[in-house]
């Protein structure tokens, strides 16, 4: 399996508000940057979307390391919370619904097509690729004519 490094970030101008995601994929000397934005969404949805769009860009199963500054994403994946929410019909516990089940379902399905490790990095702390992803996300959120986030119901 090819080893692909993925770096992601997402955010909003206000939360909720216009949002964007940025992702960088690297394989050897190859590098690809992805970004996109939505008119009204949340920070967490954009963090998830960055991971989803990056994994969707892979054309065959790979060994992947996703580096993110989102504890929400990294902890939910590494600690098995997202899989448990799915198994419990998108419930975090007996009374609380899991947020963003539409995106978690996609991310879990994509992650199962690859061998994926999630790694947390502190945001805004000088990590070159994380800073670039943050810039891509902000630029995307600031763009004109942003599309609607069909899964956001705020």
Query: pLDDT per residue over 39-69, tens digit each?
Result: 999 999 999 999 999 999 999 999 999 999 9
Residue 98 lies in a domain: yes
Domain that holds residue 137: 3-141
> Is position 150 within any domain?
no
Q: Which of 109, 112, 124, 154 is catalytic?
A: 124
> Torsions phi, psi of 40, nearest 5?
-145, 120
What pLDDT, in 10s, does the model give residues 15-46? Answer: 999 999 999 999 999 999 999 999 999 999 99
Q: What is the CATH number of the domain that holds 109?
A: 3.30.420.10
* Domain-located, residue 151: no
Task: For residue 69, indicate whether it is catalytic.
Answer: yes
Handedness of CA 115, 119, 123, 126 (dihedral sign): negative
In a domain, 106, yes or no: yes
What does the alpha-carbon distance between residue 29 and residue 103 come to, in Å, rounded to a whole number? 30
Domain assignment present for residue 97? The answer is yes
149 inside domain = no
Is residue 58 domain-resident?
yes
Q: Annotated catalytic, 10?
A: yes
The active-site residue, picked from 20, 22, 37, 47, is: 47
Confidence at 154, pLDDT banded by 50, 70, 90: confident
**Is 77 within the bounds of a domain?**
yes
pTM (global) more than 0.95: yes
Domain count, the chain: 1
């Amino acid at each position: 399996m090819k080893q692909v490094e993925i770096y992601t970030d997402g955010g909003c101008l206000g939360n909720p508000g216009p949002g964007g995601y940025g992702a960088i994929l690297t394989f050897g000397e190859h590098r690809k940057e992805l970004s996109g934005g939505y008119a009204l969404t949340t920070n967490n949805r954009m963090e998830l979307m960055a991971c989803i769009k990056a994994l969707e860009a892979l054309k065959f199963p790979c060994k992947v390391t996703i580096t993110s500054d989102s504890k929400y994403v990294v902890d939910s994946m590494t600690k098995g919370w997202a899989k448990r929410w799915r198994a419990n019909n998108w419930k975090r516990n007996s009374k609380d619904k899991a947020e963003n089940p539409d995106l978690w379902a996609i991310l879990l399905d994509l992650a199962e097509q690859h061998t994926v490790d999630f790694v947390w990095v502190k945001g805004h702390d000088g990590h070159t690729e994380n800073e670039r992803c943050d810039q891509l996300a902000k630029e995307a959120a600031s763009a004109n004519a942003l599309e609607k986030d069909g899964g956001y119901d705020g």
